[in-house]
Structure 1
């Protein structure tokens, strides 16, 4: 009997799960178990015409179209009907000159725009045309266009990889010749830190945080300016700016180990992973253990995936940012949502989130460094250990319940 698939928004997954929906790891979709009635799932039930769609393939197809138009998409596009801003080729710093929206309802489709080039397109998945008996010549044209598009995208990816290697060579040379960071660097002082943690400084006094892949190759640096601004990659010379030369740096999946040398990572029993440097350094001081800095929530999933592949037997704990004030303002709690998605994707991931007082929430506190500055290092240590203990107890109870269910079925 074929599975009945559901389109469940991420924020409603717990509701669907509670009703008995199961997760198909291959298709990345929730579905109704054979022993359940459809009635309770009607709000998410896909139309019959969509039951045979390959949704992962649709996302790949949409991603190819986005990249072809110059949008920079590291992971799969988010097709939730909302507008997502992203960088495009040629963007500087934090610019996001690209936008897209994708829809999975009824007819998988979307639109995207590159504001730098002015290009704007509507898009419909090829699978829709294949399922709706369009003219054969039209389908052939679409198929040929997609094949040609994939070739162009693959060439762009190859070109980008070569640029990454060239930028990495430049960054390696700069980092090797840079001096060690001052322990009284304004950013470190602002965060309450008084060590250099194997960081260096460039000739302008900006902190240099080396970002390596799981094999230790240095691909990029995060520069932190005295005022706290951050950027990934190289600082261009005046001449390079005038010529509009670009030096893309590969951040995806790269990280920095705070509190230990890179070569000691294989000896660690557990890997604690945080987003930013200040949070990772704070936890390193509080726990007296090395902590992995993943740079940001968007890169966290890639770092975790790469570490699991390299070290499948290591325990992984995510120390997530917890921006409650953003939730109150109707925005996403990005750190928590990213951590939950990772936990959904991989087994046995533990999530530790900072817990704040009401005043701290009102002040916009969101990470363990904020607790450190507010209440001291002992509060960080106690909060982390208490939440970890509660998390382990909850996981243990779930395992017992799951085991009991297995025995009674």
Structure 2
């Protein structure tokens, strides 16, 4: 079999396994990492190694999804020795990639902490806070940007989110998974609320008095809920969903429900009158304050 045919068969095997291969596949017996379509920009979670000598064979997968598959030319089974050799190579590369990612996150965290330290307490009259009808709580500000701190369960600041006056939001590159912005007193709390978005969390805290952990998106609710359950095991945990009723699949409720089931938490969902806009508890509070009108 020619190298060209070997590569084409290997590429087909990757596609059949549900992994989009890179544009170029090198048949050199070395492990290669590549960006998987649909993953975050800049990540290289996909990997493959293709050995062409003798009996062509290889292995490929994704560290993000856990997919791992072997391939051998003409459908022949890979020997145990070949499989073990490939597996050792891939595991070593996985550990190296993990260390590189951790080092990158730590470097970005130093930058985020410096930005946080240089910022001043947020102006209560900031246009975003005024529009959302909430106080600044623990936010800080640099110029016209609100700075939202993102911590882990050990109280370490890893990243920040910047909110512009018009509500536009930007994250610094770096760690994002499992991070949250806390609002309120977490000294021996009896109840902890978790939600999606800082303004929603500020509203929930002001309305209930309970401390709130604000995840930055629906997909992070499960990780944040698990962190809360681990760090404050004695507290009642309540997931406060966004009701994305106008979005197919209602991701806000879908992710919140999954997080609640996985952690044994309670779940509450904001309900709106028929034909009225709004999706989260901040929208609901603003609607009530306007006497039922929602603009």
| Band the TM-score falls in, shorter-chain normalisation | 0.7 to 0.9
Partner of 2:201: 280
Contact 2:195 2:201 in 1 (8 A): yes
Matched, 1:68 2:33: yes
Higher helix share: 1
1:86 partner SS = coil
Contact 1:126 1:143 in 2 (8 A): no
Matched, 1:198 2:138: yes
Separation in structure 1 between the aligned mates of residue 45 and residue 272 of structure 2, nearest angstrom: 35
- Residue number among 61, 69, 94 corresponding to 1:126 in the alignment: 69
Partner of 2:97: 156
Matched, 1:337 2:262: no
RCO higher in structure (CA 8 A, sep ≥6): 2
Cα-to-partner distance string for 1:279-317 (whole Å, 9 max, x where unaligned): 111111211222211111111111111121222222100
Cα-to-partner distance string for 1:70-115 (whole Å, 9 max, x where unaligned): 35xxxxxxxxxxxx8331217xxxxxx999xxxxxxxxxx999xxx
Pick closer, same or farther for the CA change 1:212–1:153 going to 2, 3 Å: same
Contact 1:297 1:335 in 2 (8 A): yes
Separation in structure 2 between the aligned mates of residue 214 and residue 267 of structure 1, nearest angstrom: 14
Partner of 2:6: none
Once superposed, what is the RMSD of the aligned Cα atoms? Answer: 3.3
How far does residue 265 in structure 1 lie from its aligned partner after superposition? 1.2
1:162 partner SS = helix
Partner of 1:226: 165
- Structure 1 portions without partners, runs of 5+: 1-60, 72-83, 91-96, 100-109, 113-122, 234-247, 380-409
- Residue number among 78, 86, 89 corresponding to 2:39 in the alignment: 86
Separation in structure 2 between the aligned mates of residue 172 and residue 182 of structure 1, nearest angstrom: 20
- Residue number among 262, 267, 270 corresponding to 2:188 in the alignment: 267
Contact 1:286 1:378 in 2 (8 A): no
Partner of 1:303: 224
Separation in structure 1 between the aligned mates of residue 195 and residue 178 of structure 2, nearest angstrom: 13
How far does residue 322 in structure 1 lie from its aligned partner after superposition? 0.8
Matched, 1:324 2:267: no
Higher strand share: 2
Pick closer, same or farther for the CA change 1:377–1:157 going to 2, 3 Å: farther
- Residue number among 210, 215, 223 corresponding to 1:289 in the alignment: 210
- Structure 2 portions without partners, runs of 5+: 1-16, 23-31, 47-59
- Residue number among 285, 289, 292 corresponding to 1:372 in the alignment: 285
TM-score normalised by the chain length of structure 2: 0.74
Contact 2:201 2:213 in 1 (8 A): yes
Separation in structure 1 between the aligned mates of residue 153 and residue 224 of structure 2, nearest angstrom: 8
Matched, 1:357 2:273: yes
Separation in structure 1 between the aligned mates of residue 67 and residue 234 of structure 2, nearest angstrom: 42
Separation in structure 2 between the aligned mates of residue 207 and residue 256 of structure 1, nearest angstrom: 13
Separation in structure 2 between the aligned mates of residue 375 and residue 318 of structure 1, nearest angstrom: 21
How many residues align? The count is 248
Separation in structure 2 between the aligned mates of residue 341 and residue 147 of structure 1, nearest angstrom: 35
Separation in structure 1 between the aligned mates of residue 266 and residue 155 of structure 2, nearest angstrom: 25
Separation in structure 2 between the aligned mates of residue 344 and residue 199 of structure 1, nearest angstrom: 31
Matched, 1:251 2:164: no
TM-score normalised by the chain length of structure 1: 0.54
Separation in structure 2 between the aligned mates of residue 320 and residue 181 of structure 1, nearest angstrom: 27
Cα-to-partner distance string for 1:20-45 (whole Å, 9 max, x where unaligned): xxxxxxxxxxxxxxxxxxxxxxxxxx
